[in-house]
Chain A
């Protein structure tokens, strides 16, 4: 990345049948940057990509390429000749691999010998030299996508747009292509904008990630910022924060907040959680969690609005001692009394077998019972339920060594710094 803005979109709006498909007030791409646009299907990723690449007529707004307004200072054709695009489908021409890779250059009327040289280099770069004379129709999905990438890179694009380029490929093919694309992008310092619904792809390739929801960019930032500090619940859920707990800040001291949490289902704040876990497990006592709960008197004291009444459900107060909220320590900037979501990524949760040591002084250590164990790729996804539900990933080896099974009593723990706090309305 060398910083200068290469592409800028302002007030991008696209309407279809009265519905606003895209509403992006401002977005800029720096030279040499790889920007990923992530979001669920229908969030507007493709629309944004097509708007930025000048392939879609905008309802409103403007695109500037190196400070020149597309359609005013430079023609759409001139702009298009500075970029390239790769779609989910390879969209190859009914011709040989060579002819396909040469297509963009032929449209630009590049000299034949020059074309030969460039195409040969690109075929080599994407490892498809041996397919040179094959008919595009006879290629496998991965080979076709390699050809499509080689075709895009052949025109030396100043910006490369990628619209879910790997979505239709099987995992091993996707893996090797992802690797190659990453290498070629780095080698050439090519600016790229990629739409994907796979956050793993985005993490691997991008300098920045933009998260889209309903036609808007709701967050844009470095992968670490987006992954670890999602701006809202939607982003958190989408980027893979699997545990999102609704709670209230009951104490805030020296950068560490104590959050009284209820269930993981956001929005049910204030509902008392049944902390009696399955048979064999000791009910969660207030003393077992850190920090000790705020005494009842304090909680029901004068400043009713600032002090959470986290034990009330629908205005009804319960005084059952077997039911208590769980308290989570979290690092963050919040005020006492604020309603928050605690976001916890599965890789930050540790599961150990057996009940918690009694009167454990460790922060964020909770007795739980394993609810479900589901294979998830090379790992197992373990869901444990206690005062709340957490999700963790565990290797097969650990699973066997720790003799974890559904219904087993375990202790879940995580660091205060692993908890990301989101304010909620």
Chain B
């Protein structure tokens, strides 16, 4: 063991052990001193405290952050609402009298008895934390509970902030609903039972910011459950404020304009990609989704054949119809396959092999050039032009304009749309890509699928000369004490390079669609230069009964010279774009330009 003996210096170990032992004993003396203080000197006070230890912990829910529109008008607000809660520790201990209390609550407030039993079964019975049973009590309910208070130990009503919306269905898909954390979210461990969590839309996207920090208070209560005094309180911190890109006036106008139609509206600022309005109809009753929704109401919404939960602006895909002709024209002009002087005689029918492709107009448009074919939406011209340009070039320009790619909008569940890939098909055998497909594609039918948001981005690019903006919904998130905590400065996601004469041609033709006797005349507003394109997307099912079941499109920007807004309207099963969608766009544009003028004057 020689290597383990300490050579050199004299071994000071023994005395040091003694010193250390003394230090430890001193530590014990300090502990005993503290115990003396707690148990003997202050013991009486603590005994008193333990006798009276009927301390109730009352969480104070933090108000969720408020979502504002671009002008500082709230899109959603909070108001106080009453919540019925149970305090497990204060319910009667024996099962029989506890069930009696629960039964009394059930009959007083008309809540299913089983729901109460379930709520109690989920928690530890010695917990002091209130368990929320039902949110959104009426004042009458609250009065009943207070009246029966002595018979209802462990049953309390609390005041909590709850979401309130301008109208029952206002911007439902955009904002999204807020509900108690579900079991799956609880499993992730970020939430406590009863926490309100954004479940869809911006409420979900920005949940981390919107939910504040709950506060709480500890109150002493007497044997009757009445508050004796408040021991401690911690103020809740409200959630962050979100400034969106939405204009509440535009949003309301767009929702009004849709007036019972199923479909979608996107209003976008082509200069920066700001989404000014986002409407999907039918919408669900967002105010009924907040808090505790009854099972039946929930099922009714989920099973509704019109899919009110679907955000049609980004989650539904449609054939673009004649709106797509702008892309075909752009492709043809830029590639040099067609020129504005090319003419075709349209007799209402185009034969390709044994197939006959019809124009929408019985008897045809007569002799038309490219400009007139856009203005009057002549199909025959585009059938032939499409064959000249070729499917690969059309698909190339469609992808350049962002189709079949996500727009990158800040909401979950965005669909990509679809563009066929003729090149790949051609690589194997020319014959597998039928010319008929190209013919169909030239007028936006067949395999092509787009979302309204993609159309809005495309239309913005046409309006601003080729810049594809990622649609922006949120400008910034602010906390009152810390300023801006998150900001989205907008982002360009692509460029489309077309020669200036091509841009000018497209804009001129689209102006004429509305203002020079074209199909979009229904959107015309005197004094306002609107440029647009109508579209009528045939339903895939070709049964005769579906006549008039086409989707109606209208995509426009204004003013044509210096575009400030893009409006895209889609009406499901609406019929002709010019007859159904264009008038809706007109109402929205009217509100945007003329109601804005009024507002400015009032401000001045």
Chains A and B come from one and the same complex:
no
Binding site for A on B (CB under 8 A): none
